[in-house]
Amino acid sequence: MSDGEGTTLILQRGVFSGPVADTEAGLYATVTGGEVERGRHSLRLSPGAAVDTDTYFGRLPAGYFCRWTTLTQVNLGFRYEATGRSELILRGSDHEGAVHDLDHIDLEGSGDVAMTVDLTPFADGGNVWLMFTAGDGSLTIRDLHWSTLTQQPIRAAAVAICTFNRPADCVTTLATLTSDRVVAGQLLTICVTDQGNDRLADQPGYAEVAGQLGDRFVYLQQPNLGGAGGFTRGMIELIARHDDVNLIVMDDDIRCEPESVLRLNAFANLTTAPMMIGAQMLYQMHPTRLHVGAEEADLEKLRAGRWSPHALHDSDMLTERQDRIADAGYNGWWTCLIPAEIVKTMALPIPMFFQWDDIEYGIRANLGGGYRTVTLPGAAVWHMDFAVKDHDDWTHYFSVRNSLITAALHSDFDTTKLSVLLFREIAQYLVSMRYGLALTMVRSIEDFLDGPDALTDGGQQALVDIRTERKRFPETIIEPESSLPGASYDALPQRPAGFPPSKDKFDLVLSKRAAIQLTGRVQRGCVAIPPQNEHWWHVSLFDQVVVTDASGSGYRVRTRDARLARQLTRRTIMLMKRFRADGAGTAQSYHDALPRLTSPENWHRLFKT
């Protein structure tokens, strides 16, 4: 809405229940006394009831607005009806979590509340929220919102979704987005890139949601180029349609909170410079737990998902609050807003197929373009827990290869230190009888050393090759209990682990375990090892082990094969010599090829394959 002083921009709305009935209500508002009826955007408190919005979706992240936007104050508004005398308390926290009252209003009769909240005390962090208490009568709250007046044009958003053989999930995500009329009305276009053979267009419910969006819905089909290819196609399509837009990339299988889209776009419209604004990730299987408040990558160790200083990680958001400001190095593309000018000046993602494409893009945007990333508290979607994904699968190939490409582009790339790190990790797989996983990692390093030509087809052949090669290794296959040695998993001898090796003896213990495995000085027979004890230094003591897959869908049987271990060890030693000799030159080749790899011309070529 507009008036003579500017345009009203809604920063976030008061949401008191989730988008679907079984969403944990405590993430939105806490009933601290009495009986309360919740609507999506309304509350009705019975006499004597009390509600606190010191909750994950209920707080305004004042510190983030103070740090990253032009705001010095925000406006709070809502409608109320009070049959008796009720009250509102405005509360806040500082960066250390200390809570204090900011303001107090008595509510009687009915009307509209409009008040201003000063943000200047929150430069170091902190949040603002509300507490409502009904007196001797009932209290109804409607249409609560935090807003500001802006003189700048408000940029709209468009959503790009990549999907692969998850049509039901994708339809659900689309339907959830369109269920919120305010959010749907703010979206210029929703573009879905379908790379599977189980087509979204054939799914029940597709026609209805597509019809609701009309010409604002774009459905594209193309070969499977992984997440990198699906999201890049959406970026190109949306920028071609809308020159001035905030792009929001979004996974197909998330559980969507539409309010998060509104909050991401509002924040992006106020930042002092163009920034990537990421949604946080809550776990689908543990829906009150936060994956990480903000994350960064450690390229010297080829590790992503490291939590940033002051960031919460694996935290229960029913009991914890992100008061300190956490700076992010990048944001995962389960849901992330990218202003159009970043894409235009930064070029496109690298055709890595899958894994690290979003990480590399975020790092490149920061280091190469000076574009920062903010992972915004109170804006989140639910995504499958990472803990239930066993990395002993084909995806590990892309994780390792692409981490090397990212490190080659954006770090000093010390090949001596990296070769030690890589050899140590492969050795751990070998002593724990994960021969297929060791081969997966070896192949990823070999293909990295082959240079940028490995990305010529966007990863399609690499996917086929690594999945085929892994089939040669029995322990890569998840078995049902009926296929296990012995009567059942529970019938096998259980072998819990002892204490881990100390840091100063880590390599010594690894060498001893390798000798034990190669010479056969192991405990004979098959044993069961609980998932929490599946450590290389423990598994390597046995001749055959059965472990539960992280997904819980079956078991893996690992059997000692000294001949295969020797073959893979020799191959790894030769590979590390090659890595130390050729790694620096390979890194330079990726630098040289980056403009070509990330160009629209290269991507259009891939889309037609």
Q: Which residues are annotated as catalytic? A: 358
**Are 382 and 282 a contacting pair, CB within 8 Å?**
yes
CB atoms within 10 A of CB 143: 13
Q: CA nearest 171: which of 217, 197, 199, 206?
A: 206
Residue recorded with tokens 């050795």: 427
**Are 147 and 73 a contacting pair, CB within 8 Å?**
no
Q: How far apart are CA 231 and CA 166, in angstroms?
A: 15
CB atoms within 10 A of CB 136: 10
Which distant-in-sequence residues (6+ apart) come within 8 Å of 449 by Cβ?
578, 579, 582, 583, 586
Q: How far apart are CA 44 and CA 134, in angstroms?
A: 9
Up-side HSE of residue 91: CA atoms within 13 Å toward CB?
Answer: 19
Beta bridge partners of 13: 145
Concatenated DSSP letters of 446-493: HHHHT-GGGGTTTTHHHHHHHHHHHTT-GGGSPBPGGGSSSS-TTTSP
H helices within 328-477, ranges in order? 340-346, 357-369, 395-410, 415-431, 435-449, 460-470
CB atoms within 10 A of CB 122: 25
Which distant-in-sequence residues (6+ apart) come within 8 Å of 278 by Cβ?
264, 328, 330, 331, 332, 335, 336, 337, 373, 374, 375, 376
Q: How far apart are CA 416 and CA 419, in angstroms?
A: 5
Q: How far apart are CA 52 and CA 130, in angstroms?
A: 6
Strands of 299-347, DSSP E: 303-307, 313-316, 335-339
Measured between alpha carbons, how far is residue 512 from residues 84, 87, 111, 538, 562 in Å?
A: 77, 69, 76, 12, 14
Q: Which two tokens stand for residue 148?
A: 């500001």
**Are 441 and 571 a contacting pair, CB within 8 Å?**
no
Q: How far apart are CA 435 and CA 270, in angstroms?
A: 51
Q: How far apart are CA 93 and CA 32, in angstroms?
A: 19
DSSP state of 324: B
Q: How far apart are CA 540 and CA 430, in angstroms?
A: 9
Strands of 96-197, DSSP E: 99-118, 128-133, 139-150, 157-163, 187-194
Using DSSP bridges, classify how beta strands 42-45 and 139-150 pair: parallel, antiparallel or unpaired. Answer: antiparallel
DSSP state of 411: S
Q: How far apart are CA 600 and CA 347, in angstroms?
A: 8
The amino acid occupying position 342 is I
CA angle 577–578–580, rounded 5-degree value = 65
